[in-house]
Amino acid sequence: MPIPLPKLFTYKITEAESQFLKKGMRVAVEFGKKKIYTALVYEIHQNAPKGYDAKDIHQILDETPIVNEIQLQHWQWISDYYMCTLGDVFRAALPSAFLLESETSILKKEGFTSENELSNDEFLIFDALQHQSELNVNQVVSILNKKTVFPILKSMLDKEAIILKERIYEQYKPKLVKYVRLNSIYTEEKLNDLLESLNRAKKQREAVLSYFQLQLSTKKPVKVTDLETASGSSTAVIKALVEKDVFEYYFIQVDRITFEGKNNQLKTLNEHQSKALIEIEISFEEKDVVLLHGVTSSGKTEIYADLIQKQLDENKQILYLLPEIALTTQLITRLQHYFGDKVAVFHSKYSMNERVEVWNNVLENKPKAQIILGARSSLFLPFSNLGLIIVDEEHETSYKQFDPAPRYHARDAAIVLSHMHKAKILLGSATPSIESFHNAKEGKYGLVTINRRHGNVLLPEVELVDIKEKHRKKRMKGHFSDRLIALINNALEENEQVILFQNRRGFSPIVECETCGVSPQCSNCDVSLTYHKFKNELRCHYCGHHQAMQHNCGACGSEKLNTKGFGTEQIELELADLFPTIKVGRMDLDTTRGKYGYQKIIGQFQAQEIDILVGTQMLSKGLDFSNVSLVGILNADNMLNFPDFRAHERSFQLMVQVSGRAGRAKKRGKVAIQTFNPYHQILQQVSTNEYQTMFKEQLDERWQYHYPPFYRMVKITLKHRDYSKVDIAAIWLGKSLINVFKENVLGPTIPVVSRVRNQYIRTLLIKIPPKQSLKTTKEHILRIKNTFQAVKDFRPIRFGLDVDNY
């Protein structure tokens, strides 16, 4: 049962089953070639399906629903708005542990005697079943020493030599802690007799005495591990007492992750924070969505904490959305300090079992899951009493799911979810997205602004370093200008920390032959391989393909290979040469793969064990380090020249956010931005923190060239292994769309990376004017999609729809 059913199907239920089957329960159903799948009950009705006969359900898997009514409504909205199937939404929403596993068991069919008809491989299986009552597929693979065994099993089924059975089992396993208690036969009168009987077994006697001490001191059930520690005895001693019927074992189910801590007093807000809090509460009386535009380090988190406390006083649930798992690491500690064990965390770094426990705690509305802190997937949790949603750093692109479907935006889906719960939603950012700020200016959202940093610390001083001039005057050491090196030295002399930002991981994005100019390419994708020096390998960042670093050019055999461009790994190595006595850390996807990868690096930097932290965009997302006085951006031009209509907006946001990590405590911080074009309008706006100017300029451009927030967009992606087939299909689809939408269709075009995982890609973009009905547009697109997929040659082509693809 690897996945839930991809779309809605009707199944029959008996009258007895109808008595306790409810919406939101899981059932096991047969689908296709006698395969068992997990399905979710979406609706119970009296209408027979058209075109097929309804089968009986195989088994009801739950006693109570695991999904509530509001969730199903919300998932239906995501399915409709983002033009994907309900099955896609279910698959993304439900933790994989809820999708039960099934295992095929092979049994001998009684009465089969025609052994002469069996082939050699079939006879080996049949012979094994004479000695074993049943086999699973893995055992058959081992017996035959073959990877493909299903054709052999099918042949045996046709000969009626075997029968197959599907066995269903839960993936989720609750965590059980072993406890020990005194056997009920030992009343107070018999305790002396017990101790006397253990006079010769000193360790056992010591264990019994330690048990009484633990019970008196803690007045709680006694864990086996605690008893072993307190008595200094081994597991064997406790086991011997159990065998003598002195003790007995029992198990208590516990959560894998618990946050302990006392509820501490919230910090007193300063004048600007208090004013903002009052304005938010007034805005909430008229509008359900409020945008909080506060400069970096203005103390937005403290305002959130006050709003959370007011919801807790009303016994409501709170969802706190964050764009990056790295942020949850820092925020857990802060929220735990205020709200103790009411905080629960939900994101993809948690194991399958841990996520199921959080899901169940939210479903049962337990106090230990009143505040949910999580990435975009926490939007799907079964809230029943939601009072407030906070979307921190609402401008972040990490809130958008790109692949696979559903390609939803967590911020927009959260606004709809809050409306369904009749809750309030607060969007917070120092650099709001153009769309959100435009909605606030139009009066759709409330708008609250904080222009002062906490403690009246000035915003960092931004210095633009012209590296074109520095190269000309030969004042560069590697990728560092003399000015940036001087600023790093000043910070280190003051025992302050430095953050360096380069939005590219690895050592170098291109390895090039100096003789013929050829660079190693990925065999599966249309990109050059990135060099990772630490592992001495070339790696593709699209499909994961990797190979050892070559010493000769694959085209001409020359040994003159050179690297072009630079990533975080190269910066880390250059810093080790420039500052040999300084501890340098790196924070990117390569160093944070483990469950506690973020926690370890952030903890070390906070404890000042790392002096200089080099990182990618992970560093820009709301992290709070009090001792950082300098931020260096090593190359601002890559971001600005990216071929995307949001390149300037995103560059501004990224640079302002990463600059905001400097000087957050007492002293004013410094930011050095290295660029070949210091007079670029966006860099000038970053240096003076002119958000309003950037917003007006970008809005004018968006209106002029028909882009959001004025026009909506739907992107269509076609993928197939055959270049000519996908090309012909894209041309056909382009003509069909142009017939309906005229000049509002862009494409078909070949994207920058035109092949990924051996799939050739073509894209088309549909712009939807302000007065055009979105619903009608989607109906037209779906009609064209159905016609496209009805063409036999186009059927194998993957057709992807992405609504609001930015």
The rounded distance, in Å, linking the Cα atoms of 661 and 663 is 7
Residue pair 246/208 in contact (Cβ under 8 Å)? The answer is yes
pLDDT tens profile 436-480: 999 999 999 999 999 887 777 788 889 999 999 998 999 989 889
How many other β-carbons are positioned within 10 Å of the β-carbon of residue 251?
A: 11
Q: Looking at residue 452, what DSSP letter applies? A: S
Find tokens 């003399």 and name the residue. Answer: 482
What is the signed CA dihedral for 691, 692, 695, 699, rounded to 10 degrees? -170
User: Is 233 a residue whose pLDDT tops 80?
Assistant: yes
Residue 378 pLDDT exceeds 60: yes
Return d(Cα 95, Cα 93) in angstroms, integer: 7
The first and second tokens of residue 668, run together, are: 């004013």
585, two tokens:
């850390």
Instruction: Give mean pLDDT, residues 481-505.
Output: 90
* pLDDT beyond 80 at 595: no
* Lookup: tokens for 421: 């719960």
Instruction: Pick the range with the lowest mean pLDDT from 193-202, 220-229, 428-437, 483-492.
Output: 193-202
> What percent of the chain clears pLDDT 90, i.e. is strictly above it?
37
Q: Identity (one letter) of the amino acid at 789?
A: Q
Closest alpha carbon to 674 in 490, 518, 488, 547: 488
Q: Please state which of the ranges 58-72, 279-293, 582-596, 649-663 shows the lowest mean pLDDT.
A: 582-596
Residue 607: partners with Cβ closer than 8 Å, 6 or more residues away: none
Lowest model confidence (mean pLDDT) among 145-159, 391-405, 672-686, 789-803: 145-159
In this prediction, residue 260 carries a pLDDT of 60
User: Where residue 644 falls among pLDDT bands split at 50, 70, 90?
Assistant: confident
**Contact in structure between 408 and 442 (CB atoms under 8 Å):** no
CA 255 to CA 253: how far, in whole Å? 7
Residue 251 has pLDDT above 60, yes or no: yes
- 751: preceding bond cis by omega (within 30 degrees): no
Considering only residues 71 and 153, tell me which one the structure prediction assigns the higher pLDDT: 71
Number of Cβ within 10 Å of residue 619's Cβ equals 25
Q: What is the DSSP string of 231-267?
A: HT--HHHHHHHHHTTSEEEEEEEE-S-------PPPP
CB atoms within 10 A of CB 227: 22
Residue 469 and residue 601 in contact, taking contact as beta carbons nearer than 8 Å = no
pLDDT of residue 4: 47
Q: What distance in Å separates the CA atoms of residue 466 and residue 462, rounded to the nearest whole number?
A: 13
* Cα torsion angle, 427, 431, 434, 440, sign: positive
Q: Please say if the pLDDT value at position 400 is more than 90.
A: yes
Q: Does the structure show a pLDDT above 70 at 622? A: no
Q: Which residue type sits at 316? A: K
Helices then strands, each counted (H, E), the chain: 26, 35
How many angstroms separate the CA atoms of 84 and 80, rounded? 7
3-state SS, 377-435, equals HHHHCCCCCEEEEEEECCCCHHHECCCCCCCCEHHHHHHHHHHHCCCEEEEEECCCCHH
Task: Name the phi and psi angles at 63, rounded to 5.
Answer: -90, -35
For tokens 């009143």, name the residue: 370
Cα atoms in the Cβ-side hemisphere of radius 13 Å centred on 178: 12
3-state secondary structure (DSSP) of residue 488:
helix
CA–CA separation, 748 and 631 (whole Å): 42
CA separation for the pair 204, 225 (Å, rounded) = 15
DSSP string for residues in 116-183: GGS-HHHHHHHHHHHHSSEEEHHHHHHHHT-S--HHHHHHHHHTTSEEEEEEEE-S---EEEEEEEE-
- What's residue 565's pLDDT? 82
The pLDDT, as a whole number, for residue 102 is 61
Give the pLDDT score at 420. 96
614's CB contacts (< 8 A; 6+ apart) are 500, 501, 502, 568, 571, 572, 575, 584, 585, 586, 587
- Residues 359, 384: contact at Cβ < 8 Å? no
Please provide the DSSP assignment of 574-635 as one string: HHHHH-TTS-EEEESTTT--STTHHHHHHHHHHTT--SEEEESGGGGSS---TTEEEEEES-
What is the amino acid identity at position 801? L
Task: Give CA 652 to chain center in angstroms.
Answer: 25
How much is the pLDDT for 1?
Answer: 31
Give the chain's mean pLDDT: 86
Contact 55, 12 (CB under 8 A): yes
Angle at 305 between CA 301 and CA 307, to 5 degrees: 115
Question: Quick one: which H or E segment has residue 328?
Answer: helix 325-339
CB 140 within 8 A of CB 125: yes
pLDDT of amino acid 157: 83
On the 0-12 / 13-18 / 19+ scale of CB atoms within 10 A, 350 is: buried
pLDDT over 60 at 313, yes or no: yes
Which of 181-195, 277-291, 509-523, 575-589 holds the top average pLDDT? 277-291
Distance CA 63, CA 186 (A): 39
Distance CA 633, CA 658 (A): 8
- Would you state the pLDDT for residue 765? 95
- Specify the pairing of strand 755-756 against strand 612-615: unpaired
pLDDT band at 252 (very low <50, low <70, confident <90, very high): confident
Q: Over range 345-361, report the average pLDDT.
A: 82
Mean of the pLDDT values across residues 737-746? Answer: 92
How distant, in Å, are the alpha carbons of 68, 233, 399, 708, 709 from that of 439? Answer: 31, 67, 18, 11, 9
Between 594 and 456, whose confidence is greater?
A: 456
CA distance 453 to 300: 10
Residue 761 parent element (H or E): strand 759-768
Alpha carbon distance 107, 104 (integer Å)? 10
- Percent of the chain past pLDDT 70, that is, above it, reads 93
Return all residues near 806 (Cβ < 8 A) that are at least 6 apart: 400, 645, 646, 708, 713
The token duo for 706 is: 């028909």
* 512-527 tens-digit pLDDT: 888 888 898 899 999 9
The model's confidence at residue 778, banded by pLDDT at 50, 70 and 90, is very high
Closest by CA to 551, choosing from 540, 541, 560, 539, is 560
Residue 110 φ/ψ, nearest 5 degrees? -65, 140
Query: Maximum Cα–Cα distance for the chain, whole Å?
Result: 97
Q: What is the DSSP letter of 269?
A: P
Tokens of 157: 């089924």
Residue entry with tokens 């920390």: 497
Residue range 674-720, pLDDT digits in tens: 999 999 999 999 998 899 999 999 999 999 999 999 999 999 999 99
Q: What is the DSSP string of 282-309?
A: HHHHH-SEEEEEE-TTS-HHHHHHHHHH
**Cis ω on the peptide bond leading into residue 49 (within 30° of 0)?**
no
Per-residue pLDDT reduced to its tens digit, 59-92: 788 888 999 999 999 999 999 999 998 888 988 8
The DSSP annotation for 692-724 comes to HHHHHHHHHHHHHTT-TTTSEEEEEEEEES-HH
Of the candidates 249, 260, 73, 104, the residue with the CA atom closest to the CA atom of residue 178:
249
Whether the CA torsion 737, 743, 744, 748 is positive or negative: it is positive
Are β-strands 371-374 and 343-346 bridged in parallel, bridged antiparallel, or unpaired? parallel
Structure tokens at 416: 């709809």
Give the per-residue pLDDT at 82.
Answer: 95
Q: pLDDT grade, residue 263 (50/70/90)?
A: low
Single-letter code of the amino acid located at 757: R
